[in-house]
Structure 1
């Protein structure tokens, strides 16, 4: 992620022995062979501009299926062919259509989505309008389920996910803004409600933040979920608890190469309005691989189970 905000690393507080252990874990994760998926590459143009994207259709007729739109981080264009993008496997398992928009390097040479630019923080303008346009075009072309459309991303893609969910709460039923940033870099929920306007609704959200993230550090992740829960409660008072209703500690398992702490935030109606997942021994690049490569399939399945459990709700109505 890049932007006007400075992110401060927490790594300086670690012991040399602990850092060595983390580096060994990093080496193991970074050496994993990618999954073998071959989605179709397409391009989309509207008044806001042009972006290409990859499209993956699961087996069977697509009509009536959910749609997941995933936004890469700043390094997502390096070798962007999705042969290493294992969420395609989860799409086949769970039966959802997957779209993977690509930033244009002629617009952003670093490959980052411009989540922090004013023109990308308004509805029907800039990159959000293009991504929302891709979403609408695919929904119409394939007859996808409009009540089960989801959006997620990591790093700059996570921050852009927040922007889009604020600007288009009527389009995305639930979101996954992972290792991102709060909307407008604010801590209170009112800016979200102001931008949502009459469309304001509590939007269920899945957060993932690694403990030792040196780019979007852990405190930014906590600010992100705190702002989102505050906005939920402004949109529908009492819809979101401000503290976890339960916490899990998950050990290493197939598709889960690192231990996790998972916080669950259940609404008064009993549905899960938010989830905050923390891979314990990880930093920014490892987090990206956990949600994009085969070694993290268990996490990706949990992510999609959370999203797919939600359907679009009316304004000011919680799940």
Structure 2
């Protein structure tokens, strides 16, 4: 806006002032530290009910949808703003259960001041010394937000939008282990920081999920992703699954198989990793991507179905799924088990001689429907028009692609005619799993694909 236009707008507003207090309610923008969604319990977003800008409109939890009612500006003046209004404690009343709602921004109003405890992930109103709280520890859409005595429970944990420009990375270049706390337990996560990383700059993150009976560090080695991370200047996190299996772990994939009693919720765990690494690894939360091998590909697929608000694009290797097999016909996905709230870009790699997760379907009860059926289901989810285009990219590799899908997404599959249950391009062996093609490099192709998308 030009300066003259801005002055006209302010002067017009000043003509309406009838009292000293009215002079303070001009909703001029605060100096912004960050802007975007604020997420909390169950990954839901802080939302203005009905996108209503009237004073007193309830602030609630709601499924993240990218609307303006969920876009908050965290100002350097202590305010949190959306739709031109401020997050406000009703009357500044210091009582558990006091409603948090939307109100005109008033300079110096302590009802509208908030501080963020990054370590505890708490939003505190200093006037009352109480925390922003989701009523009843409920993650349901429409859950009312209130203030309550700070108690460290999950309904008081919030992730603010990040300043995407600068930060402080506490992990040095190379491979190391970061401890991530989830539900009171600390879990080691193998991470890799590229040698090209500049300390104050936020970088993209690739989650790299291992196959069944492996580990995060084993997957970091097998996929050979470090050189690609150095070349592309992205961060890598390779956690381990929840369920002990053989010499490693398996992922607790929701809706598939029977989980052991008390098994960790791996969907929530991956979200906790993203939250933790936003600070320690200095990631850009808008550029979080995922890949995974075999069971890790199944886990990643499920994560994209359930939490498309946290991951910008996925690249399963030998493990693309689109929900559980339909119990009434296991040769197809169950549509009800994968209904992401936004289109998800997908690039996948699969050997047509894969005997573990067969390209044509069948195999274990965890697998069943074919890879083309999974790709077709993702194309339907993303609203892709027409049929896929097939291109022969090398002697044994075909590229099958749905293009021009909603929100500019694409669903791409690299099918390897002589490929086994292996990672294309890796120099590392996968004994007993068939041929590893070196006609393509999965790491290079997925990174090229990822760079087209962000949340």
TM above 0.5: yes
Q: Deviations over 1:33-88 (max 9, x none)?
A: xxxx9510223221185532211111222522111001010143398284444111
Is the CA contact 1:43–1:53 (under 8 Å) kept in the aligned structure 2? yes
**Other-structure match for 2:337:** 191
1:204 aligns to 2:341 (yes or no) = no
| Matched residues, number | 251
The CA deviation at 1:311 is: 1.2
1:153 aligns to 2:296 (yes or no) = no
**Other-structure match for 1:306:** 449
Judged with a 3 Å threshold, the aligned counterparts in structure 2 of structure 1 residues 292 and 51 are, in CA distance, closer, same or farther, namely farther
The CA deviation at 1:225 is: 1.2
Q: State the Cα RMSD in Å.
A: 2.9
Judged with a 3 Å threshold, the aligned counterparts in structure 2 of structure 1 residues 52 and 298 are, in CA distance, closer, same or farther, namely same
Structure with higher helix content = 1
SS at match of 1:166: helix
Which of 293, 299, 302 is equivalent to 1:163? 302
Which one scores higher on RCO, CA 8 angstroms, separation ≥ 6?
1
In structure 1, C-alpha distance between the alignment counterparts of 2:390 and 2:184, rounded to whole Å: 42
Structure 2 segments unaligned to the other structure (5+ residues): 1-172, 327-332, 361-369, 430-436
**Other-structure match for 1:46:** 182
Q: Deviations over 1:83-111 (max 9, x none)?
A: 44411110110111111112356x44462
Is the CA contact 1:49–1:126 (under 8 Å) kept in the aligned structure 2? no
**Other-structure match for 1:266:** 403
Larger Rg: 2
Is the CA contact 2:302–2:338 (under 8 Å) kept in the aligned structure 1? no
Q: TM-score w.r.t. structure 1 length?
A: 0.69
Judged with a 3 Å threshold, the aligned counterparts in structure 2 of structure 1 residues 292 and 100 are, in CA distance, closer, same or farther, namely farther
Judged with a 3 Å threshold, the aligned counterparts in structure 2 of structure 1 residues 175 and 242 are, in CA distance, closer, same or farther, namely farther
**Other-structure match for 2:240:** 102
Judged with a 3 Å threshold, the aligned counterparts in structure 2 of structure 1 residues 210 and 241 are, in CA distance, closer, same or farther, namely farther
Structure with higher strand content = 2
Is the CA contact 1:189–1:228 (under 8 Å) kept in the aligned structure 2? no
SS at match of 2:411: strand
SS at match of 2:352: coil
